Structure 1
Amino acid sequence: MSGLTRSSDGLDERRRRILFRAWHRGMREMDLILGNFANAEIETLSDPDLDAFEELLEPEDQTVFSWISGTEPIPPEYDTPLFAQIRAFHLSGRGLPD
């Protein structure tokens, strides 16, 4: 997968920024997990979900990856409905290339 596959055309500035940051994390695995989720869902996320997504972009990649993979417990402040949605999306394989 080459990365960003969704155009940011038609998105407001906040969604464009989140989409870019989701694809430019530093750790390729997190680019794929968060980037693919953002490609699929960015248009439909509510303002509270966008807040939660922006907060999830702050911790180190390896830390977030350990939460998503289940090797470390998720701190309560990050254990949001959006995090559960991202994890379910990842575990479903919907974001993986064919």
Structure 2
Amino acid sequence: MEEPRAYRLKRLKMRSMRRGIKEMDLILTAYAEANLEAMAESEVALYDALLHENDQDLYQWVTGQADAPDQYSGMIKNIAQTFQK
């Protein structure tokens, strides 16, 4: 059975808030609040996959210390811009 969109978005918002590294909690919570509702299903699926990545890797990608994998590069740019605003 497929997860209803409302439940999925709520789950992703909670996972964005409770990452383990406080900096990533703040960054991903801001991004999720600003963008999740308007995302297409393919973007939601990509964000869901991104949340399975390691926090240290995510932080380095968002801060530009390391290059993000190609599949995430556009989303990582958007996350970094959202947080900088």
User: What's the TM-score, normalizing by structure 2?
Assistant: 0.85
- The answer as to 2:23 corresponding to 1:19 is no
1:34-53 matches, within 5 Å, as 34-53=28-47
Hey, what does 1:4 align to over in structure 2? none
Shift of residue 69, structure 1, vs aligned partner: 0.3
Number of residue pairs the alignment of both structures matches = 81
Give the superposition deviation at 1:26: 0.6
Q: What is the CA RMSD across the aligned residues, in angstroms?
A: 1.4
Instruction: Provide the secondary structure at the position in 2 that maps to 1:73.
Output: coil
Question: C-alpha deviations, 1:42-66, integer Å up to 9, x for none?
Answer: 2111111101111110111111000
Q: Does 1:55 align with 2:49?
A: yes
1:1-98 superposed matches below 5 A: 12-79=6-73, 81-92=74-85
Gaps of 5+ in 1: 1-10, 93-98
Give, as a single letter, the amino acid of the residue that structure 2 aligns with 1:83.
Answer: I
Offset, 1:15 = 0.4
TM-score in terms of structure 1 length: 0.75
The Cα offsets for residues 37-96 of structure 1, whole Å up to 9 and x where unpaired, read as 1112221111111011111101111110000000111111221x332221211122xxxx
Q: From the two aligned structures, give the one with the greater helix fraction.
A: 2
